Amino acid sequence: MAVNVNNPCLFCEFLKNKKIAAENDLAFAIFDGFPVNLGHVLVIPKRHVANYFELTSAEVLAINGLLNKMKAEVEAKFHPDGYNIGVNVGADAGQSIFHVHVHLIPRYKGDVESPRGGVRGVIPSKRSY
């Protein structure tokens, strides 16, 4: 099956036409349009690049800076009990928009029956250990 290259790219268009929550020279942050939990944020490099491992070190630092900035904003507005941070790299890992985006997902007591294993839950049989 061919990989959807998202042409035009949703995030490139979003940067041009939509309200963003925060930005720096190399990246921007938005609240996810289909949030997993209240306060779910995406941090996205301004340069169109599909693979996280192809980011420059400056882009990684810019993304990390916005993760911290948005974490403080989410903390103040929504008071979560924890966070998951994640990136999908490639279609087989669940990537559906082929422009790097880092998820900052606030977690709340009781949002799942048992949060043990956290991001290990991407493969349900490996979640419990």
Query: 29 lies in a domain?
Result: yes
| Residue 4 pLDDT | 52
pLDDT band at 129 (very low <50, low <70, confident <90, very high): low
What percent of the chain has a predicted confidence (pLDDT) above 70? 92
Among 58, 43, 62, residue whose Cα is nearest residue 100? 43
What percent of the chain has a predicted confidence (pLDDT) above 90? 74
* pLDDT, mean of residues 98-124: 88
Query: 1 lies in a domain?
Result: no
Query: 4 lies in a domain?
Result: no
| Structure tokens, 88 | 């999908």
Query: 116 lies in a domain?
Result: yes
SS3 annotation, the chain: CCCCCCCCCHHHHHHHHCCCCEECCCEEEEECCCCCCCCCEEEEECCCCCCHHHCCHHHHHHHHHHHHHHHHHHHHHHCCCEEEEECCCCHHHCCCCCCCCEEEEEECCCCCCCCCCHHHHHCHHHCCC
* pLDDT, mean of residues 96-114: 94
Specify the number of domains making up the chain. Answer: 1
Domain residues for the domain of 44 are 10-126
Pair 9, 48: CB distance under 8 Å: yes
Query: 61 lies in a domain?
Result: yes
| pLDDT tens digits, one per residue of 28-69 | 999 999 999 999 999 999 999 999 999 999 999 999 999 999
Among all residues, which ones are annotated catalytic?
101
Assign residue 113 the CATH number of its domain: 3.30.428.10
Query: 3 lies in a domain?
Result: no
Query: 5 lies in a domain?
Result: no
* 2 has pLDDT over 60: no
| Residue 126 pLDDT | 66
User: How far is 59 from 39, CA to CA, in rounded Å?
Assistant: 23
